[in-house]
Structure 1
Amino acid sequence: MISPKFLRWIRVIAPAIAVVTVPMLISEYVLSHHAVANGRAALRDMAVAYVERADEMIGEAITVMKKLKLANADTCSLENRQAFGHAAFNSSFTRQIGLASNEGVLLCGEPMGSLASPARLPATTSGDASIMLSVLSGETGGSQLAVTLRVSNDMRLVARLDRQAIEMRAGDPNLFAATAITVHLDDGSLWWQRDVAAGPAASGDVIAEKARSSTLPVLVTVTASSAAMQASVRELRDIAMIGSIFFGVITLLVGMWISLQNNDGSDEFSRAVAAQEFYPYYQPVIDLTTGKVAGCEVLVRWIRDDGSIVPPGAFLPYAEATGLIREITRQLMAKTVDEVAALYERHPDFKLSINLTASHFDNTDIISEIRETYLGSGIDFRQLVFEVTEQHPLRDLELSHQIIKEIQAMGAAMALDDAGTGHGGLAYLQKLGFDIIKIDKMFIDRVCFDVTSETIVHSLYDIADRLGLKMIAEGVDSEDQIAYLRGLGVTYAQGFIFAKPLPAADFIAYVEKMADATVDEFLPSAMARAAA
């Protein structure tokens, strides 16, 4: 069984762990989604930037060639070649301008240094578009884009672009370093590409974004792994982790301080429940018409190992709040079998009243617990009375009614305890079907000198009488109260004037002592006056 001390530290540590882990999990979820969303936006921006660069490069080449066409630069004359070289020199992206035949043969080009490894252009006809793009491959250093402009039926101006001019840095440097980029023409030919070196940033799910030129047959695709995107929020993630750990440590220290400075005894209480330190005490219920014992109410006492007794008011609220009262009730019922079953076998008319709380009516477990405890125990189901207090509201009246009916079906009776002091009142009597009403001590205390209390008691008695219910008066402490109750017609009572709650051995001795008592012997003055 888990020790109470361990449970106490769990209650201290668990909030601290929650303060650390919950914000971390939330921040991780938010930051992860934020990183991917921002990463996608960054990729789209990169793709658009590369499309704009491609448009700029190709647009510049077309503009230069159109100016040369207007100058009738459609031959390889020295003057035209000088014009080609001058135009290329003053261009930002164009590295060579020349003339090519429809067969794709480059006839001349300036500057000549760009022809270190001449390449053949695609063949064209007079019916092809006036402006065409093509990728030249096979040169040292990779592919190169060529832009051609028809200047006659047989000739096309050719502008060969700088193969590295399209490369640029865009967006977050950390993400850009892990981003692969490809620039294609619409025919699928690869103009330029940038690969990513293998590593953690290149692993994981790959996310791609694309952008297409609105005027030219150019498509840009940029890709990056989700791991690379997560790296962009690494600093924010570290800050969130440090903050969560900080507040978790603070919560742990505060919890430890509270636990040490304000120990409410819950550990000792849990240990006491596990050790079954809760015992039934029996308060006799007296038949006012005969003066004999009619049974008892079972009340709980916490008796520590050292013999000290903890009063119920010091632990019952905690027991009810934590739900431990259910286990205590189960233990009490089992101990009544061990302690008074033989007595109840000898007195088949005795009643044994056991208190239930609102938590007992949250589910039907109490039904099986009653059956398992008392079936064949020597205490007959017909001798059992289960009391339900008005002071704590039942959460589900329909379920409560079902449980009460099943308990009554066994043969046991149900009593409404503390009648007139709590939440249910007449609604409980109407909806739940009790057999007994118990008048609370707060009304009995004032019946002989307070008209309001007497009116309430009289009204409760009248209700019980009309509904065919038995009535028991609690907290009877004086002979005058006994006389009043007998005069009203109340049959049963319990209180200190008869006996305080007694341990089992003393209760059994009390029953034996009072077995032959008469009304006059039991309470000579009060009973005699009441009988007169």
Structure 2
Amino acid sequence: MFRNATKIAGYMSFGVLGALLLTMGARGVLDWQTRSEVEEGLNVSAQLMLERASEATQTTIKVLNDLANSSGLSCTHDHRYLYSDAVRSTPWIDTIGLVDRNGNLVCTDLGQSSRQKGLLSTYDTNDPEVMLSLSEGRKEGEMASLLVIRHITNGRRLVARVPGELIRIDPVRNELRRFRVAMLSLGNNEPWYILEALESGETSVHVRAMSEFMPFEVNISVSKAALDVIAHQPRKMINAFGFILCAIALVGGFLLGRYRPTEGDRILAALDNGEFVPFMQPIVCLETGRITGCEVLTRWNKPDGTVVQPHEFIPLAQNYRVTREVTNRIMEDARDVIAPLIDGGGDLKVSFNLFSSQLVDEAIVDDVQSVFGESSVGYTNLIFEVSDRVPITDLTLAKDIISRIQALGSEIALDDVGSGHSGLYNLTSIGVDILKLDKLMVDAIDQGLAGTELVKGLIELAARLNIGVIAEGIETERQVVELRRMGVSAAQGYLFAPPLPASSFAELYKASRALASQKDAAPEELDEAVNAA
């Protein structure tokens, strides 16, 4: 009970931690996205402020340039009319005046002025033709105005005033205005106007933009509270989503903690852990005693050292539909052992047992091609055994799959003949290439004339059908003698070797080949000695 509770708590904690991390990550992304959107919006606002100030200034400069083309400008009625007409030509200028060399205002478009001393500095020949300057508001609380100054001649200058009220705009989005501070400056030291924040706070986003052609600069900043306002609703949704995820994690962790893996899950886990391993029982030529092939069998070696026999796990694999995974793993492991033997000059026949369910599943053909398609273990080296003990549910589909396997160059063997349910029907109905006599039939040889004649009849029938024969379960030399007399040339059984670990089979096969090579070489050496004598 305690171990189960601990496991449940672990799963639940892991799930909640994952949900919290996901929620925090989502909030981080939201904050980054909000900050980026706000920064982008402030940049747009800064550009709008710059464009308005630049447009007003450029328009004013053009107006003054046009006036400067008139000769002999002074404070006469006609000239003041020109000034007034120029003011009316644009919405940016509220007055135009004439300033003498000493910087005193002589007159404006509104009329003759008593001299306003010191409006501008005394003219300097080094002054540029056009200058910009800021003047204080004429009344308390009034915004500063921009003075656009155009030199005419002899130190006299035209001055146009652009009121700050005409330039001032606040393009920042509405929900940010109470948190923003915006300033338009002439250069970087002379503020033209400032938009104050209603709520102060630590600056979170700041943008700075400068005009390309005019000496204007805009700085806009907003406090962290502005980001919180914009992200408030999305954060609520993310928090709700995180709460739901935590709830799901708690429930999921609880269910995972209570989950008991099925035998199918255990088989898949064992495959991942490499617990299913191939064993190989040699198939021996009864004429020469050489190993000509092997039958690949499956063993389940558990970590605790126990071995699960095929008759125990095969029904489980079939019941939980994991036969394909088991077969593929065994074929891959066997291929890796057999390929070096064939590369070394061997000519082995390797036999695999197919589950009955695979005979009605076209995936087996693709699996065979996937495992052996690029291997030195060719299709012609392969034999696939079909058990005579298990009925075939869809004979038509099974025949099609078998014919496709045979088309690759592989052979089909009917296994367990003599102990199965179908008698001799499958021998001809599915077009097998090899008949494998069951141990029960082989044991019948030792039980008298009747058993011997029964085995002999099956072997003679296979010969007439051009079907090869392999005898299984050979345990006595008498069985070997009788089977050879009946025409059987291949057999397997404990008389020769039990099912061996793959590496042990490989060593046995190499030793068998070496011994056979020595025997083949001996007659040749004897012939050479006789000829020399």
What TM-score, normalized to structure 1? 0.48
